[in-house]
Amino acid sequence: MIAATLKTMSGSETLRASGSAGVMIVARVLGALGTLAYTVLLARMLNPQEFGLVWTLWSGVFVAAYLSTLNIGATAIREVVRARTTGDDAKAAGFVVVSRRVLFCMCAPVVIAYLALIWLRNPEITSSYPAAIFLAAAMIPVMGWNATNAAQAVALDQVVRSQVPGMLLRPVVFCLVLGVTWFSGLTLSLAVVVGIYLVITILIAVVQFSLLRRFFDFMDEAEPDVSGWRRWISTGLLLAPNRLLSDRLRDVLLLLAALPLGAVGVAQMAVALSIVTFLNFAVNAVETSFAPKISRAISNCLSDGRDTKTDERSLHFIAISGAIKLVLIAGGAVFLWLFMPLVIGLFGPDYTEAATVIWWLFLIPLAGAFFGNTALIMQLFDKRRAFFLTSLGALIALPVTALYGVPLLVAGGMEALGATAGGFAITMVGLQALRWAICLRITGMDVSAVGAILRWQRRGGPENSNAGANA
């Protein structure tokens, strides 16, 4: 069924979206493999304690960078697409201006909070690695700028230009530097490792800005209309929990894993997540590439007063993206089954325990692919409250699991690492299922991969949707 769906795809816009998705998938998989490669090198060059610490610092930086934007970029796919579709360049320009002002105002307090939390959590780490910690904090505003620009560019249908630099430059350059250092027999301190990461992050900002600058030319011709700033910020805050659980899930899990496991346990979890992450990246790449097409189709449907449940154009794109995601997950499962011992062995004998939690963590991208991009649909229908509550519930459930659930499982005889990974995986699968059920009830749209494909096939498949896709 899936193979037939993919084989019969047609329509110029569908092919463009699929081509963009293909580029994103390749870039994300290559980026994930590059991340896996430099994670292997770091595991070989640092001891488990330092390895776990560096990932804890980086995870905190990624989460803090998103907080510094107030997640306003998450609303770009709705606000900017709607403004540009209706020819309201002033509103689109106003959104960009507000996004940048928010970042400017929030950077200092977020950086201060990041440093304060590290000191409160473990003063010994602050005194032992002060340079590494301050260099990590310096990455927060740069990463916030990169995230803001990327979100706006995705809404302008510049998915590849906005995402690929970050996906490929960081792992490629980092791998080259670490590889040369390792083969030269040199050693790197924690501060040097974090400093290299900071330089690469700045390089990404420069390249991204150069690639995207001309697509923001409309701002020169329109007077920015910032009248919607309260709605944009409030919507971004409502969507923030979901953004953390999707784009920054690995970092959230590593931060929370430090509560029951400590630095060495975080190192094991980082190895396992580095192996599974390429599947999360691939699924997110498909959703990111198809999001502008689905958004436009549903927005036009809503503005015209048509029933979204029977709209061929939106169903067409949802079904195709679902089919691609299921194929990717199946391929990933086969890869893990065949090559997991070999891949784990690359990290060295200190990390063999990571193999025990791979399949627990595999459930997370599997659930994401199966239940579909409910976040986009709920946002388009302006069901922010329901989506916020489910995401907030998961963000509460994850630390509760780490602090209370894991000790109970360990008391029952389960290993701490397996208990942590299993608790996190079950929480995330439950979240995806709950979101799907709520989305179906509120909007009437079944965006699960299997559900969308079956509905598309029953309505005639590509023969019945070619006209809509080519329109």
pLDDT (tens digit, 0 to 9) for every residue of the chain, 471 residues total? Answer: 444 444 444 444 555 555 555 676 677 778 778 888 888 899 988 888 899 999 999 999 999 998 999 988 888 877 887 777 777 778 888 888 899 999 999 999 999 999 998 888 778 888 888 999 999 999 999 999 998 888 888 777 777 777 777 778 888 899 999 989 888 888 888 899 999 999 999 999 998 888 888 877 777 777 888 888 888 898 888 878 877 887 788 899 999 998 888 888 899 999 999 888 778 878 887 887 788 788 887 777 766 666 666 566 777 788 888 888 999 999 989 998 998 888 888 898 888 888 889 999 999 999 988 998 887 888 777 777 777 888 888 889 888 888 888 888 888 888 889 999 999 999 999 988 988 898 888 888 888 888 777 777 776 655 554 544 444
Token duo for residue 215:
């697509």
Nearest to 78 by CA among 387, 299, 300: 299
Counting other chains too, the contacts that 130-135 makes at CB distance below 8 Å and 24 or more residues apart are 131/191, 131/194, 131/195, 132/54, 132/57, 132/189, 132/190, 132/191, 132/193, 132/194, 133/57, 135/191, 135/194, 135/195, 135/198
87 backbone φψ class: left, alpha, beta (φ>0; ψ -120 to 50): left
Spell out where 174-306 has E strands: none
Rounded-to-integer distance, Cα 5 and Cα 24, Å: 20
Q: Where are the beta strands (DSSP E) in 319-456?
A: none
Whole-prediction pTM: 0.78
Sign of the C-alpha dihedral computed for residues 57, 243, 95 and 89 taken in this order: positive
Residue written as tokens 């179906």?
A: 440
Determine the Cα–Cα distance for residues 355 and 68; give it in Å rounded to an integer: 35
Residue numbers of the domain that contains 12:
2-470
* Count of structural domains, the chain: 1
Instruction: State whether the Cα torsion 24-26-28-31 is positive or negative.
Output: negative
